[in-house]
Amino acid sequence: MRNLLMSAVLVGASLLGSTAFAQELIEGRNYVALSSPAATAQPEKIEVIELFWYGCPHCYQLEATINPWSKKLPEDVNFIRVPAMFGGIWNVHGQLFLTLETMQAESKVHDSIFNALHNAGRKLSSLDEIANFVAEQGVDKALFLKTWNSFSVKSQMEKAKKQAITYQISGVPAIVINGKYRFDIGMAGGLQETVEVADALIEKERQAK
């Protein structure tokens, strides 16, 4: 019973903390309210989108904070990663992410890609290099190459490009809450503050339902 009471107290304190933080947030400074809210993938849930690029050092730095946070999100929150598509190598790496996601292999290779680019000196800039790399990670190379140019991946790439325009993204990492609010690390004030702002805006949306 004591443990149950303590859990209730901790949950309540967490919610109060998020609510208090939400009251302290200043629109235009800590986040931007999009002029035209975008549709979400699952309207019954609160959507959190992280727009990123594998080659972005700030995206890599954010991983250690956002990964454990995203895995502990409540059932009413839907976390989605979307690759930013600004042309050139951005599109190549975005296609890499979407190909692996289509194959349901993204989760086991995601961290390795970041590590290869930022710690191992690998560029992953050509399809041959990418295909060999994912094969090293245990991904079926033939299936990967087949999926790379599939209709599904091409469609997801076009969708990602349109999302960046809809959310008025000019850099990454960027976080979009429920198609309504956008912010980045700078606006939040730091890496840990990024998930705290996200928590506060999630709670803001939860209270609005």
* Tens-digit pLDDT profile for residues 92-104: 999 999 999 999 9
Which residues of the chain fall below pLDDT 50? 1-20
Query: For residues 47 and 192, is the Cβ–Cβ distance under 8 A?
Result: no
- Between the alpha carbon of residue 132 and those of residues 127, 128, 163, the distances in Å are 8, 6, 30
Question: Looking at residue 23, what is its pLDDT?
Answer: 57
Determine how many CB atoms are found less than 10 A away from the CB of residue 112: 15
- Pairing verdict, β 181-184 and 77-83: unpaired
Mean pLDDT of the chain: 91
| Rounded distance between C-alpha atoms, residue 123 and residue 38, angstroms | 34
User: What CATH number is given for 2-208 in this structure?
Assistant: 3.40.30.10
Predicted local distance difference test score (pLDDT) of residue 22: 55
The single residue listed with the structure tokens 């060999």 is 132
Domain residue limits, the chain: 2-208
Give per-residue burial for 45-62: e unless 16+ CB within 10 Å, then b: bbbbbbbbbbbbebbbeb
pLDDT of residue 24: 87
The amino acid at residue 14 is S
Tell me, what's the pLDDT at 2? 36
